[in-house]
């Protein structure tokens, strides 16, 4: 069976379908029609003489043959990327595609500006940015880089801290006028606490190691929505400072329980363990570390109103 650049392109497209778990998403990422993706995968299956994917209206699943083929595809594509890096290393130009997973709100508020600046410096680079607040697998998701906020426990990847922030408790002035200002964490039992559900033990807020059970009438899996609910005067919530620095500075939200402040959290860039990073990924890591060295939300924090 002959192997050519067309075969490599088909393997890359197949890997993208597997990683996206969707023909539609893979088509969007590749800039081609969904029907073209379907034809390419069908042609690949016909050429190999096996079924690689089982399709249904709701689910896309790998067959045993498809899983074996995917594992080989990943190795071949990684080798091709390494070969490209080896050749381009002699050049000053950084080029290639970087697939990134990053939190939704952090990306919208801060990351996109950093990526725009990076792409202006390196116009031969392409970025595939996937927004997701859940932790995803670096390898299975086909990501070169994952940005996540908070504590990381898995030792199967390499994490580099690119910035530090802290978790704060905030509420709108209207809520505090109505419900009163909590003076100690124990006072939270008498307050409406808006909870973020994508973290373990969302029903507990920690203060210097002490876990305080909290209750409220709104649980949300999106931090930006929590912030808006707090601004509307619904209750107290805990979020990273970067999400509310401008709202605190404008007086729409107030910091509370600052004398019982929670610890710092890291903003991490995660890569696969034991895998040499392409030059373009290393360049982006260095760029982001420098970009967020002087956290852009710090200036807003410094101008923030006095905490309660």
Q: What is the mean pLDDT of residues 79-106?
A: 78
Q: What is the mean pLDDT of residues 175-185?
A: 96
Domains of the chain, by residue range, sit at 5-88, 96-164+265-301, 166-263
pLDDT at 295: 61
Lowest mean pLDDT among 65-69, 90-94, 104-108, 245-249: 90-94
Do domains 96-164+265-301 and 166-263 share one topology? The answer is yes
pLDDT at 190: 94
Share of the chain above pLDDT 70, in %: 83
pLDDT at 138: 61
CATH top-level class of 166-263: alpha beta
CA dist., res. 65 & res. 82, Å (int): 26
pLDDT at 276: 67
- Say whether pLDDT at 13 is over 80: yes
CA 278 to the chain's CA centroid = 20
- Say whether pLDDT at 299 is over 80: no
Lowest mean pLDDT among 109-113, 209-213, 244-248, 274-278: 274-278
Report the alpha-carbon angle 59-78-21, nearest 5.
10
CA dist., res. 289 & res. 239, Å (int): 22
Q: What is the mean pLDDT of residues 201-230?
A: 91
pLDDT at 149: 86
pLDDT at 303: 43
- pLDDT, one tens digit per residue, over 106-165 is 999 889 999 999 999 999 999 999 998 877 666 667 788 889 887 766 655 778 888 888
Reduced DSSP (H G I as helix, E B as strand, rest coil) percent helix, strand, coil of the chain, to 5: 45, 25, 35
Q: Which residue from 259, 219, 224, 217 is spatially nearest to 240, judged by alpha carbons?
A: 224
- CA-derived radius of gyration, the chain: 23
- pLDDT, one tens digit per residue, over 50-71 is 888 887 766 788 888 888 888 8
CA dist., res. 159 & res. 280, Å (int): 17
If one looks up domain 96-164+265-301 in CATH, what number appears? 3.40.190.10
If one looks up domain 5-88 in CATH, what number appears? 1.10.10.10
Mean residue pLDDT of the chain comes to: 84
Segment holding 204, helix H or strand E = strand 204-207
β-bridge partners, 99: 128
β-bridge partners, 60: 55
pLDDT at 28: 74
- As a dihedral over the C-alpha atoms of residue 216, residue 222, residue 223, residue 225, rounded to 10 degrees, the angle is -70
Instruction: Write phi, then psi, for 192 (nearest 5 degrees).
Output: -85, 110
Q: What is the mean pLDDT of residues 236-242?
A: 93
For residue 253, count CB atoms less than 10 angstroms from its CB and return exposed for 0-12, middle for 13-18, buried for 19 or more. Answer: buried
CA dist., res. 149 & res. 164, Å (int): 9
Which residues does 187 contact at the CB level (< 8 Å), separation at least 6?
Answer: none
> Are the CB atoms for 203 and 195 separated by under 8 Å?
yes
Token pair 């595809």: residue: 73
Token pair 């978790």: residue: 167
Lowest mean pLDDT among 2-6, 44-48, 163-167, 196-200: 2-6
DSSP 39-98: HHHHHHHHHHTS--EEE-SS-EEE-HHHHHHHHHHHHHHHHHHHHHHHHHTTSS---EEE
> Are the CB atoms for 105 and 243 separated by under 8 Å?
yes
- Say whether pLDDT at 86 is over 80: no
Share of the chain above pLDDT 90, in %: 37
3-state secondary structure of 140: coil
Q: Which residue from 158, 205, 203 is spatially nearest to 184, judged by alpha carbons?
A: 205
pLDDT at 3: 60
């Amino acid at each position: 069976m002959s192997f050519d650049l067309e075969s490599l392109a088909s393997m890359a497209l197949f890997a993208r379908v597997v990683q996206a778990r969707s023909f539609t998403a893979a088509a969007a990422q590749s800039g081609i029609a969904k029907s073209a993706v379907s034809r390419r995968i069908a042609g690949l299956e016909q050429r190999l003489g096996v079924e690689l994917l089982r399709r249904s209206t709701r689910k896309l699943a790998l067959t045993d043959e498809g899983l074996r083929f995917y594992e080989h595809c990943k190795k071949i594509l990684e080798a091709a990327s390494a070969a490209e890096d080896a050749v381009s290393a002699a050049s000053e130009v950084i080029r290639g595609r970087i697939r990134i997973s990053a939190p939704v709100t952090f990306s919208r508020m801060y990351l996109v500006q950093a990526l725009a600046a990076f792409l202006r410096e390196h116009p031969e680079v392409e970025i595939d940015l996937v927004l997701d607040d859940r932790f995803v697998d670096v390898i299975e998701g086909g990501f070169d880089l994952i940005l996540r906020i908070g504590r990381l426990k898995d030792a199967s990847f390499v994490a580099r801290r690119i910035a530090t922030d802290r978790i704060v408790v905030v509420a709108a002035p209207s809520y505090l006028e109505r419900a009163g200002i909590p003076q100690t964490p124990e006072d939270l039992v008498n307050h409406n606490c808006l909870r973020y559900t994508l973290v373990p033990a969302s029903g507990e807020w920690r203060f210097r190691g002490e876990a305080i059970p909290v209750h409220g009438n709104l649980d949300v899996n999106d931090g930006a929505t929590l912030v808006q609910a707090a601004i509307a005067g619904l209750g107290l919530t805990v979020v990273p400072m970067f999400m509310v620095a401008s709202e605190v500075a404008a007086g729409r939200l107030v910091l509370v329980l600052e004398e019982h402040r929670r610890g710092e959290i890291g903003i991490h860039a995660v890569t696969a363990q034991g895998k040499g990073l392409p030059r373009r990924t290393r360049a982006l890591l260095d760029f982001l570390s420098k970009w967020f060295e002087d956290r852009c939300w710090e200036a807003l924090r410094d101008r923030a109103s006095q905490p309660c």
